[in-house]
Amino acid sequence: MTLRNEVMLKIYCTMVRIRTFEERVYKEFKAGNIPGFVHLYTGEEAIAAGVCANLRPDDYITSTHRGHGHLIAKGGQTDRMMAELFGKKTGYNKGKGGSMHIADVSLGMLGANGVVGAGIPIAAGAALSAKLAKSDRVSISFFGDGASNTSRFHEGINLAACLNLPAVFVIENNMYAISVPIGYSCKLVNMADRAAAYGLPGVTIDGNDAVAVYEATGEAVAKARQGEGPTIVECKTFRRRGHWAGDSQGYVEKEELENWLEQDPIPRLRKKLIEIGVITEQAAQDIDQESAEEIEAAVKFAQESLYPEAAEVLTEVYAPTPIPTAAEINPDTTDTKEINYMQAINEAVSEELACDPKAFMLGQDLRALGAPRGEFRGLFAKFGPEKVIDTPISETAMLGSAIGAAATGFRPVVNIMYASFLGVCGDELINQLSQMRYMLGGQLKLPVTVLGYSGGGFSGAAQHSKTLYGLLMAIPGIKIAVPSTPYDAKGLLKAAIRDDNPVIFLYHQLLLRRSNKSEIPTSEYIIPLGKADIKRVGGDVTVVAIGLMVERALAAAERMAEKGISVEVVDPRTLMPLDKQTIINSLEKTRRLVIMDEEPSTASAASEIASIVATEAAYLSSPIVKVCAPNTPIPFSPALERSWLPDEDDLIRAVELLVG
């Protein structure tokens, strides 16, 4: 048998396995044995099988919510897949992801995804890691026609094009986005024509012709391996089942359905293989039987497997955190120097880029400006374009590609600029970065550090002045650092970059502009995330202050000391994890608590801290007081902004009322 015929036979066997798996899944779902949402790949098998026949085990793929076929084609085990669909602990994701998030990271399959198009920027990030590693790996993103109308399509593919990444973007055009026909949602006849807008080659092929898929994507994969950049491949096909297993597909005309059923990819290839003598009719029946037996065994495995124990709901949220050495936490302070906040940020990133070959930085304005405030000036000249990567203005692509790079072994530092812009890439933050490790059953680490300016005080108005503390604290799976001094900023940022979990690192714009300096050791030091600091010792009242408010709380404490009021100022330094014990220990002494937070009070960090204290520190002698901003967006006018931001006088009034 020729090599080509061997490949065609392999593709055929893969297609039969996918079809057999999906039809059995449909049966089990209808019987009530599989919970949740199930999206079937029936009818589209030629695409996954044809594309993946060109791939090596170390190549990467990202998938859609219709991902069973992609994982089978990449070499996945049908028994572990079926167990995951049943919600069992022997499943690929330990029962934490289900059908829409099926994955096998060891095979380079970085996960199916319940969010349309979300895998596109992640695949670009995996391709970036392949390029940075100077390997010839490629990254494939499978997605439907509906995804090509999303921002992720544009931003992810544009980034891949700009950086000339080894990626292939495969549009599985099955003619419907849920129930919306492609002709309604796009005026193009061929979706791949959009490739021209990015300066990329684009091809449209019959997605039900497995050989055509194999050949077209083979050319695209070869180009990517040779450093010739991305390609968009559109495969026109049809899903034989509805959008999900409970969808009757009543919006499809009978004639259209019958026309597509006549083009079923499996009988087409089967007929061709028999005609050219690769297999006989009996051999084809044997393949059907082998697949049926395999899937029957997979169902039996799933049925006999145990469900996860209740305690497992708490596992895999975070990866283990590297433990700093004693010397790093308590360095030799014989030799010291003074630095300001901006220098602290720059030094932390510079030192980590220098010591870790897997660490790199990406974001906009890094090459020419070193970021808008200039805090990273000099890093591009020092490290070059492979360690400090300029990107388009594309927050979705920045964070999405960082996720893909982190999932494939790198340690990205993302300059998102303003904390407010985390809303622009909200899916990447809320549904991807914070949840992927958990949904995939702990199969990967996501060491992504996201840097952002936070806070008001410079007339930036509401879209450039948010802190987002409360919102971010409500997202399980991330850590949040909010340093108030140059010393803390450097030590916490180094810890953040080394952490194997996502860390949102927020530095206040006014602090960045301050000339205030900290004395720091000339030797390396780390401040562990989750360790608060008592900035001032006192006995009458505890003030927990966050970020810029620490500076204001300390100034107010000086003034109150003149009146005989002793204030203890606690700086959490990180909001997640929150060092609640240091706060509670302080309250055992003072029995009074005031929380000073720049955010509006409702659902803020102050509210969360107050809730924890109210629950766990019952010995308070008076109600908890919050000194926060009004429940409005931050205004532009300096006069209004000064009134909006909590200040020393606000804190003093609150404390004096509390202590009587």
- Residue 374 token pair: 């200039």
Q: Hey, how many other C-beta atoms are within 10 angstroms of the C-beta on 330?
A: 11
Question: pLDDT value at position 429?
Answer: 97
- Could you tell me if 629 and 645 are in contact, meaning their C-beta atoms sit under 8 angstroms apart? yes
Q: Hey, how many other C-beta atoms are within 10 angstroms of the C-beta on 178?
A: 12
Average pLDDT (313-318) is 96
Average pLDDT (308-317) is 96
Report the mean per-residue pLDDT for the chain. Answer: 95
Spatial distance between the Cα atoms of 511 and 454, rounded to a whole number of angstroms: 10
Spatial distance between the Cα atoms of 648 and 601, rounded to a whole number of angstroms: 17
Q: Report pLDDT digits (tens) over 212-224.
A: 999 999 999 999 9
Average pLDDT (537-559) is 97
pLDDT category at 1 given cuts 50, 70, 90 is low
* Pick from 93-107, 247-261, 604-618: least confident: 247-261
**With pLDDT > 70 as the criterion, what percentage of the chain qualifies?**
100
Q: Report pLDDT digits (tens) over 473-497.
A: 999 999 999 999 999 999 999 999 9
pLDDT surpasses 80 at 187: yes
Question: pLDDT value at position 244?
Answer: 85
Q: Residues 155, 67, 242, CA angle at the centre, nearest 5°?
A: 100
Question: What is the bridge-based pairing of β-strands 359-363 and 411-418?
Answer: parallel
| 70 catalytic per annotation | no
Spatial distance between the Cα atoms of 295 and 455, rounded to a whole number of angstroms: 56
Question: pLDDT value at position 255?
Answer: 87
Average pLDDT (98-116) is 96
Domain locations in the chain? Answer: 3-306, 326-521, 534-659
Comparison of pLDDT for 329 and 63, the residue scoring more? 63
With residue 389 as reference, give the H or E element that holds it.
Answer: strand 388-390
Question: pLDDT value at position 153?
Answer: 97
Question: pLDDT value at position 586?
Answer: 97
Catalytic residue, from 39, 68, 154, 464: name it: 464
**Residue 252, Cβ density class (10 Å: 0-12 exposed, 13-18 middle, ≥19 buried):** middle
Burial 555-580 (b: 16+ CB within 10 A, else e): ebbeebeeeebebbbbbbbbbbebbb
Question: What is the bridge-based pairing of β-strands 180-181 and 533-536?
Answer: unpaired
Report the chain's terminal Cα–Cα distance, integer Å.
93
pTM: predicted TM-score of the whole model, two decimal places:
0.96
247: left (phi over 0), alpha (psi -120 to 50) or beta: beta
* CATH 3.30.1300.10 matches 3-306: no
Q: Hey, how many other C-beta atoms are within 10 angstroms of the C-beta on 276?
A: 10
Spatial distance between the Cα atoms of 549 and 596, rounded to a whole number of angstroms: 6
The amino acid at residue 119 is: G
- Could you tell me if 657 and 468 are in contact, meaning their C-beta atoms sit under 8 angstroms apart? no
- Residue 243 token pair: 């959008």
Give phi and psi for 365, each to the nearest 5: 65, 25
Average pLDDT (246-263) is 87
pLDDT surpasses 90 at 3: no
Which residues are registered as beta bridge partners of 517? Answer: 340
Question: pLDDT value at position 332?
Answer: 77
Classify domain 326-521 by CATH architecture: 3-Layer(aba) Sandwich (3.40)
- Residue 626 token pair: 């919050």
The yes-or-no answer to whether 326-521 and 534-659 have a common fold is: yes
pLDDT surpasses 90 at 390: yes
Q: Report pLDDT digits (tens) over 398-449.
A: 999 999 999 999 999 999 999 999 999 999 999 999 999 999 999 999 999 9
- CA-nearest of 570, 611, 560 to 590 is 570
From the candidate CATH numbers 3.40.50.11540, 2.40.70.10, 3.40.50.920, 3.40.50.300, the one assigned to the domain spanning 534-659: 3.40.50.920
